[in-house]
Amino acid sequence: MRNNLEQTLLDKITDEPALIAKMAQWRGEGKKVVFTNGVFDLLHLGHITYLSKAAELGDKLIIGLNTDASVKRLKGESRPVNDQSNRAALLAALFFVDAVVLFGDDTPQQLISRLLPDVLIKGADYTVDNIAGAKEVLANGGEVKTISLVEGYSSTSIINRIKGQTA
pLDDT recorded at residue 158:
67
What phi and psi, each to the nearest 5 degrees, are found at residue 35? -130, 135
Domain ranges within the chain, ordered by starting residue:
2-162
- Topology given in CATH for the domain delimited by 2-162: Rossmann fold (3.40.50)
Residue 133 half-sphere exposure toward CB, CA atoms < 13 A: 28
Q: Where are the alpha helices (DSSP H) in the chain?
A: 2-12, 16-28, 45-55, 68-75, 84-92, 109-115, 134-139, 155-162
Question: pLDDT tens string for the chain (167 positions)?
Answer: 557 767 777 799 999 999 999 999 999 999 999 999 999 998 888 899 999 999 999 999 999 999 999 999 999 998 999 999 999 999 999 999 999 999 999 999 999 999 999 999 999 888 999 999 999 999 999 999 999 877 766 666 666 667 776 64
What phi and psi, each to the nearest 5 degrees, are found at residue 103? -140, 145
Per the DSSP assignment, residues forming a β-bridge with 120 are: 35, 144
pLDDT recorded at residue 153:
61
